[in-house]
Amino acid sequence: MPANKKLLVLPGDGIGPEVMAEVRRVIDWMERRRRVSFEITEGLVGGAALDAEGTPCPDRTVAAARDADAVLFGSVGGPKWDSLPFDRRPELGILRLRKDLGLFANLRPAIVFDPLADASSLKADVVRGLDIIIVRESTGGIYFGEPRGVHTDSSGKRVGIDTEVYSEDEIARVARVAFDLARKRRNKVTSTEKANVMQSGRLWRAVVSEVHKAEFADVELEHMYADNAAMQLCSRPKQFDVILASNLFGDVLSDLAAALTGSLGMLPSATLGAVGADGKRYALYEPIHGSAPDIAGRGIANPCAQILSFAMLLRWSFGMEEDARLIERAVEQVLAGGMRTADIMQAGMARISTAVMGESVVRELDKIAV
Ligand code: IPM
Ligand code: MG
């Protein structure tokens, strides 16, 4: 039996705990059937941590994340905590983890699962077979830049300030992740910015071009203004392979890309750090959907994005490609068999609960695993 793989599980808020429970079924199945074992620790983050410990990201959670080989994250936030002061928002849970662990590359696939092509708001033939990935910078830019805050100017009026700052090293390292990834895919990177209006955007374009020329000349590179990229995503999404974006543009473009797949409840993501001197790479995996407080606690949330985040974790943190594929195939088979949670429900399909979706994935795994 190979050495234990250390996982930190952070269910968080809203539907997080419900969908995480279904991942546990998949993990149990893997331990039974795939001769692998995981050492799982659970921790608090977001509103759950605020309620229990008065802070959205306790030091203990950060320490446990550093100690783990990989973090499986649920989601944070909800109306219960909306009125808290800015420095105590549940969202700080994920922001601090990204920052403290140096998780600078946020990989967000937008994939149309074939059985769901009709669920998109776009025409099925525009999205059928869509498989693109957004590489979003996630520890810099306007999310963290100084100065920031709300102050009162000399006329007594309030002024809100955020600052977009990017150093060339920050741009270069995330660009490398995008180029590397493209080589394993269709070999094309579309780098987005607003070089026409932003100084940081001018630098972004220049640095991406330099990295490309020096290290990745074999990859096709295209530059696109971020607003145009939003438009192109809605009109001809299949022209893209890897989209590279800053923290803020990546936040917006990844929601857009995910929504147009019609499968928001299906999409996982990975956030990766640099490979350290000891070979260790911090990594966190989370679904793209949020905490969905409107449906939390009703047993109707779609657990597939969380389950597929676990598949991504196996692939990226443990090199377990075959196992990752098994899980992905099992999910696709359940969909092909006509099972649907409420978010992806279509006429003529069987509407099932969160738990039944989890059980169905495990049943499918039993069928397809040798
Ligand atoms: C995301 C979310 C977060 C972000 C929030 C919850 C802080 O929207 O992961 O896309 O803006 O990065
Ligand atoms: Mg977002």
Phi and psi (nearest 5°) for 271? -125, 120
Q: Interior CA angle at 24 toward 54 and 95, to 5°? A: 35
- Which one of 194, 285, 323, 343 is the catalytic residue? 194
Residue 152 reports pLDDT greater than 80: yes
pLDDT (tens digit, 9 = 90+) per residue, 299-335?
999 999 999 999 999 999 999 999 999 999 999 999 9
**Is there a contact between 311 and 328 (Cβ–Cβ < 8 Å)?**
yes
- The atom of ligand 1 lying closest to the CA of 251 is 10
Give yes or no for a contact between 226 and 245, defined as CB atoms under 8 angstroms apart: yes
What ligand is nearest to the CA atom of residue 137?
Answer: 1
DSSP string of 93-120? HHHHHHHHTT--EEEEEEE--GGGGGGS
Residue 78 has pLDDT above 70, yes or no: yes
Beta strands 268-275 and 281-287 are antiparallel
Q: Which domains does the chain have, with CATH numbers?
A: 1-107+266-370 (3.40.718.10), 121-261 (3.40.718.10)
User: Ligand 2: distance of its center to the CA of 213 in Å?
Assistant: 31
Collect residues with CB below 5 Å from ion ligand 2. 251
Please tell me the predicted confidence (pLDDT) of residue 36.
93
- Position 295 scores a pLDDT of 96
The answer, yes or no, to whether any atom of ligand 1 lies below 6 A from the CB of 94, is: yes
How remote is the CA of residue 295 from the centroid of ligand 2, in Å? 19
Which entry of 143, 166, 282, 285 is annotated as an active-site residue?
143
Instruction: Flag whether the pTM goes above 0.75.
Output: yes
What pLDDT score does 262 carry? 82
Q: Is 250 in contact with 108 (CB distance < 8 Å)?
A: yes
> Is the shortest distance between the CB of 91 and ligand 1 below 6 Å?
yes
Bridge partners of 188, per DSSP, are: 220
The mean pLDDT of 191-212, rounded to a whole number, is 98
Can you list the alpha helix ranges (DSSP code H) found in the chain? 16-33, 47-53, 59-67, 92-100, 124-127, 168-183, 199-215, 226-235, 247-260, 304-318, 321-336, 354-368
pLDDT tens-place string over residues 25-75: 999 999 999 989 999 999 999 999 999 999 999 999 999 999 999 999 999
Question: Of the residues 251, 285, 323, 343, which is catalytic?
Answer: 251
